[in-house]
Amino acid sequence: MLDRPTILVVAPTHYDVSYSINPWMDPQAWARDPRGMHRNAMQSFDALREALDASGFAVEVAPGAEGLPDMVFPANAAVVLDGKAVLARFRYPQRQGEEVPFAAIFESLRARGWIDSVTTLPDGCYQEGAGDCIWDASRGHFWAGFGPRSSREAADAMSAHFDREVVALELATEHSYHLDVCFCPLAGGEVLYYPPAFGAQALREIHARVPASLRIEATEDDLRHFSVNAVNLDDQVVMTRTTPHLRAEFARRGYRLREVDLSPFMLSGGGAYCMTLRLDRDSTAARASVAAA
């Protein structure tokens, strides 16, 4: 198992926006200048890599595959904890083709000793990886989104597989189609989240576990900037170019922000967190220091 913060990204060689499976995706905007868009995407990706590296991650770059543009979002490929990977099952046919190449990528990580086991979910349920199953290191449990993409039952399968609590949160809107679009636990125990993305029951779950002083409420503007979709390591945070509101909020709480222009990927409904997957998450490192509300 890995013993340093290691993060997987996928090279955007085959990236484009050619279909629409979430309300942010804009194939027409891409089609106006595909070459320029692709060039910008390559540059954005390099900038993201640099920001991750500067934040303290070892960055592992996997290849994409032709005809599978959304492979650049490996957060959806698997859930990884304690050296165990559970491969995703995608809801939409446009992304189901990613399951085979991602299985090969994880098999090679296993062969290198970075991952101990690679498994699949039972048939008949959808689960779109760490985008819908987010490890909360300060509380020692997962938060799982369900509704638009992942199935409710997937949360129970994850809990059984990893032997960890999974708190399931129903996503109430198509704009927040993955949990990582509207929910981000941080190292200090704070949770950055967009309340209107959740129904009453999910909000009760969040409020029961996260005291008010640790809740950072994102605005609609923050959501549109894909800023809730952030990558955090200790006090380091990598995200898309953000809003004055979040800049101030993060500075006040002692985080150092690295902002990257990820607009070519926002055109597909993604930000920094979706473009990465942590491979070294370790449940025993949970700093059970955050008291419940």
Q: How far is the CB of 132 from ligand ARG (least distance, A)?
A: 7
Binding to ligand ARG, residues 186-245 (CB under 6 A): none
> Residue 141 phi/psi, 5° resolution?
-145, 165
Sequential DSSP letters for the chain:
---S-EEEEE-GGG----S-SSTT--HHHHHTSHHHHHHHHHHHHHHHHHHHHHTT-EEEEEP--TT-GGGG-GGGTEEEETTEEEE-B-SSHHHHTTHHHHHHHHHHHHHTTS-SEEEEPPTT--B-GGGSEEEETTTTEEEEEESSSS-HHHHHHHHHHHTS-EEEEEB--STT-SHHHHEEE-TTS-EEE-GGGB-HHHHHHHHHHS-GGGEEEPPHHHHHTT-SS-EEETTEEEEES--HHHHHHHHHTT-EEEEE--HHHHTTT--TGGG-EES---GGG--TTPPP-
Q: Which of 141, 178, 182, 184 is catalytic?
A: 178
- Is 38 annotated as catalytic? no
Amino acid code (one letter) for 75: A
Site string for ligand ARG, 70-109 (x = CB under 6 A): x--x-xx------------------x--------------
- Tell me which of 133, 182, 184, 274 is the catalytic residue: 274
Does 178 help bind ligand ARG (rule: CB under 6 A)?
yes
Q: How far apart are the first and last CA of the chain?
A: 34
Position among 5, 12, 148, 269 found at the interface with ligand ARG (CB under 6 A):
269
| Residue 175 known to be catalytic | no
Q: Judged by CB under 6 A, does residue 268 bind ligand ARG? A: yes
Q: Is 162 in the site for ligand ARG (CB under 6 A)?
A: no
Among 167, 266, 274, 277, binds ligand ARG (CB under 6 A): 274
Q: How far is the CB of 251 from ligand ARG (least distance, A)?
A: 26
Q: Given the rule CB under 6 A, which of 38-46, 69-77, 193-201, 208-216 is the region that contacts ligand ARG?
A: 69-77
Closest CB to ligand ARG among residues 223, 274: 274
Q: Taking CB under 6 A as the criterion, which residues in 12-41 touch ligand ARG?
A: 21-22, 25
Q: Least CB distance from residue 88 to ligand ARG, whole Å?
A: 10
Strand partners, 142: 135, 166
Q: How far is the CB of 16 from ligand ARG (least distance, A)?
A: 11
What is the Cα–Cα distance from 48 to 50, expressed in whole angstroms?
Answer: 5
**For ligand ARG, which is the closer residue by CB, 90 or 162?**
90
Give buried/exposed letters for 242-257 (b at 16+ CB in 10 A, else e): bbebbeebbeeeebeb
Q: How far is the CB of 205 from ligand ARG (least distance, A)?
A: 20
Query: Which of the residues 115 through 144 are near ligand ARG (CB under 6 A)?
Result: 131
For the bound state, the minimum distance from the C-beta of residue 211 to ligand ARG, rounded and expressed in Å, comes to 27
Cβ closest to ligand ARG, residue 264 vs residue 270: 270
Q: Which residue's Cβ has the minimum distance to ligand ARG?
A: 131
Which residues are near ligand ARG by CB under 6 A?
21-22, 25, 70, 73, 75-76, 95, 131, 178, 180-181, 268-270, 274
Active centre residues (catalytic): 178, 274
